[in-house]
Amino acid sequence: MRVLVIGSGAREHAIIKALIRTGTDASDIVWAPGNKHIAKQVEVRALDDTTDRLAVTKIALEEAVDLAVIGPEAPLVAGVADALRTQGVPVFGPNKKAAALEGSKQFAKEIMAAQDIPTGMSRRCDTIAEVEDAMDQFGSPYVIKADGLAAGKGVVVTKDKQEALDHAAKFLDEGVLVEEFLEGEEVSLFFLSDGKTVMPLSPAQDYKRAFDDDKGPNTGGMGAYSPLPWLPEGFVEEITKRIAQPTIDELKKQDAEFIGLLYCGLIITERGVRVIEYNARFGDPETQVVLARLTTNLAELLMSAASGKLDVGPVAEFSDKVAVTVVLASEGYPVTTAPVRGVTGIESAESMDDLEICKAGETGRVLSVVALADSFPEARALAYEGMSRIKLEGSHFRTDIALKVATKATD
């Protein structure tokens, strides 16, 4: 099977590594636009803009691919999957209408309301006066979300009223949502969907704040681990039945058939599980730890979804090993953009057994170190040993990824 992967970050790198690890020959993978690090393994095609429908379709047809996998959210919301399907290319990724589940927080709330899916209270606001009124209604801490895409920087959670108002002001042109603050353990749960049925993958937990002890601004994610041994028995089955399947059903009712990866961002509160957000694609950095543990052929799983045959295809199975990933970020991330600087030590880290590097951008989140081991203490030790070999001037990373679960494992 010849596979085209669209995107250029650590998430797409993790997808490609998983494709190869689970049975796809590297010579059958094309990555556009990719990055320099992966060009040593698979063919890379130039692509100036992943939202360019014509350019992506041209590459898919020229490469005669059997399956296209769209990694980032922007091309999905732009309708790249629609253009590919028009040309007969099977696509793992929702069409433009279904991708609005991530492209519009308000649309997602409407889908949840239609199926009585549990989530936090919210109000959509178009003026600062409306924002302030909603903030007074829900109280502190204040949760402010951009209604549209914001590259992982659209959410702020703060007790500082002025900070919340300033954040809202940045996104008023497209609308913002003010939500009630929810407290509890967060869970990331991925589902493959063929538009009719869903198949859960293994749960993960990520770390959104920039610094240790969940301090600092929200980011796209600074680390993750999988599985989650503390989840109650039957959790995945409950979420499948109560949240994921009804979401897909409602989208189909609204003529927005969802084919691709449904990401359910969940929180376990005192009142039960609530949906924080949906994404319409694999999450980063959770993808790195979930796919590191996958033992089923990934290409076959994605094709089953893309072709509407998820119920008769292979079942996603995972190793008993645990995975931990730690993200290396450039100086000032996520507030400022650092100059491009050279990274050293990647080859040394990659020479370690059961450890891999997923390369992202030149600045921002630069790479993920992913470790696989029999226990969380071992996986943490391996991940941070790998990270110690990598040098980037001014960079930072969290030192507490999976610390609590590792500590419990040794108690």
Residue ranges of domains in the chain: 3-95, 122-179
Q: Which pair of structure tokens corresponds to residue 233?
A: 């028995």
Is residue 349 within 8 Å of residue 403, measured between CB atoms?
Answer: no
Residue with tokens 């094709």: 303
Kindly state the DSSP code that residue 348 receives in the 8-state scheme.
Answer: H
User: End-to-end CA distance of the chain, in Å?
Assistant: 46
CB neighbour class for 305 (10 Å; exposed up to 12, middle 13-18, buried from 19): buried
Note the pLDDT of residue 234.
Answer: 97
Q: Are strands 209-211 and 185-194 parallel, antiparallel or unpaired?
A: unpaired
Of all residues in the chain, what percent are helix, strand and coil, respectively (each to 5)?
35, 25, 40
Note the pLDDT of residue 21.
Answer: 97
Q: Could you tell me which residues come within 8 angstroms of residue 371 by beta carbon, excluding any fewer than 6 positions away?
A: 323, 324, 325, 354, 355, 379, 380, 382, 383, 386
Alpha helices in 151-262 (DSSP H): 161-170, 235-239, 245-253
The total of other beta-carbon atoms located within 10 Å of residue 173's CB is 11
With CA atoms as reference, report the closest residue to 369 among 394, 351, 349, 345: 349
What whole-number distance in Å separates Cα of residue 246 and Cα of residue 264?
A: 12
Task: Give the count of alpha carbons within 13 A of 371, CB side only.
Answer: 23
The total of other beta-carbon atoms located within 10 Å of residue 148's CB is 18
Longest dimension (CA), the chain: 57
What whole-number distance in Å separates Cα of residue 382 and Cα of residue 113?
A: 44
Q: Which helix (H) or strand (E) holds 105?
A: helix 105-114
The total of other beta-carbon atoms located within 10 Å of residue 362's CB is 15
Q: Which helix (H) or strand (E) holds 122?
A: strand 122-125
Q: Do 122-179 and 3-95 fall under one CATH topology?
A: no
Mean pLDDT, each 10-residue run in order, the chain (411 residues): 96 97 97 84 95 98 98 96 98 97 94 97 94 95 89 82 94 92 97 98 97 93 98 97 98 97 97 96 97 98 98 96 98 93 96 96 96 98 98 97 92 68
Note the pLDDT of residue 110.
Answer: 96
The torsion of the CA quartet 165, 171, 176, 180, rounded to 10 degrees, works out to -40
Q: Which pair of structure tokens corresponds to residue 190?
A: 């991925």
What whole-number distance in Å separates Cα of residue 277 and Cα of residue 260?
A: 16
CATH code for the domain defined by 122-179: 3.30.1490.20
Is residue 323 within 8 Å of residue 371, measured between CB atoms?
Answer: yes
CATH code for the domain defined by 3-95: 3.40.50.20
Q: Could you tell me which residues come within 8 angstroms of residue 84 by beta carbon, excluding any fewer than 6 positions away?
A: 56, 57, 60, 68, 91
